[in-house]
Each structure stands twice: as structure tokens, then as C-alpha cells.
Amino acid sequence: MAQDADCDQVLSALERTLGRGTARIVFSLTIDLSEPQRPPRPRGPLLRRLKARFAQASALSFLRFMGWLMRTRVPGIEKRPVQHSGLLDLAAHRCMYSLIGTSKVTLVVRDQRWEGEPGSPVSELTAGPAATAQPLWLLDLVRGITEAKAQGEESLGGQTTRRFTAYANLERALRAAPYPMPGANASDLVVDHKRLPLELWVDGEGCIRRIHVRHSLVPMTLDLLELGAPPPDWSRLQTFPERD
């Protein structure tokens, strides 16, 4: 079927992209404190459905309260974009990126994360668990795609790309990842983990150039600007130039 072929194209594009070694990136988050997504109705035995509905209702109430609190404390924060510039090492499953306009740098290697100032030796920093809101998680989520459909051509960064809409199963992505991929947390109860909606843009060489996903209240976009970019010194944190 055409849909199966589109899914194969997207998964092949992921492997082709990973084979390019490195990529200069822009990673964008949008803090969205509008009405949270309503979850799909749970399925299964009655007791399980009741427990799931209670958990979903509790999560929605908490998110609504936090959204109201943040909107009253920080006017205009409802949909505030936050951009990071950095570099991905696709083979070693690591990335380093800095928040544009600040000196905060984050290094993620597989399922661990370090944060600090530019020039800080990584060996002197304390590692913590990697979060889901980071570039590697988006790439790993593509491994769990179960449905995809081509939506036509679009111009992206001056080149012609094909845009795909897709759905990913987080459990499948967790199994397919080559390391312990960060999973779900409590605030993600409003998201259907078996059918996470994605958008992907694939260039003429069959490589992924953009991934977009709405993850709980934080829509995320990963732009892969320069495939095969020179790698940084991974032993120290550093900032990266903004997008051209």
C-alpha cells in the first residue's frame, strides 16, 4: 500500500541521515500554556479504564493550573519560542547545544546529560538523566513510526523537500533505540504514546532535514542544517553560531 511505502521511505531516510555522521542543528521549543491536549479514551478492562481516566483527569487539572499560574506571573508566555543552536554526533548518539542568547550549554550522550558554562571540562561536571525535550529524543522517536503519508513538496532552507505526516509508537521507539531512551513522565499522560503525531521533511538526497512533534505542552522542532559538519571538542562545553 502507498502508506506502507511512505513509512518505509521515512525509516530509510532516518538510516540515511544517521549515516552522514554529524549535523549542525537548531532545536526549537515552544512553551504552549494554552488548553492542554485531551487524551484519547483509554481501552481495556473497566478497572484499568477507570484508573487511566482518573490519572488523565488529574494530569489535565495540574497542567491547567500550572498554565494559569505561569500566564499570570509571566504575561505573554502562552506560546514563547525557545531556540538552541548545536551539533549532533549521529553515530555516537550525542549532541551539544546552547540556548541562543545565553551562555547555557547542554551535552547529551545517550541517556545522560551535562550542563554548564562554555569552556567547562565535561569531566568536572555532574551527569544527570537525559530528558525527553532534547534533539536525540526526537531522532529516536522516528524509529517508532508505524504510519506515514507524503503530503507533497515544500521549500525548506532554500531546498525542495517532501513533507510527511506520521504517527510513532513510543513503546516501539523505546525497544528500537540502541540505548536506554528517556521514556514518559507524569505530565505526558495527556499524550497518546501509541500514536504520537509527527511531521518530517526529507530532502532530495533522502535525508531528514526537519522533525516536528507536539510533546505534551512543549511542541519541538529539530532542524538539521548541515549534514557532515565538523565535530566540536566533545571534552569541553561550547556554544555554537546561530542559524545562517
**Contacts for 101 with CB less than 8 Å, ≥ 6 apart:** none
pLDDT per position as a tens digit, 96-113: 999 887 888 999 999 999
Quickly state the pLDDT bin for 166 (edges 50, 70, 90).
very high
What sign results for the dihedral spanned by CA atoms 50, 53, 59, 65? negative
Given a contact cutoff of 8 angstroms between Cβ atoms, the answer to whether 196 and 167 are in contact is: yes
Architecture of domain 2-37+78-227: Clam (2.50)
Residue 56 confidence (pLDDT): 57
Residue 105 confidence (pLDDT): 94
Give mean pLDDT, residues 21-38.
76
Give mean pLDDT, residues 75-83.
63
Distance CA 215, CA 191 (A): 7
Distance CA 163, CA 166 (A): 10
187 pLDDT more than 60: no
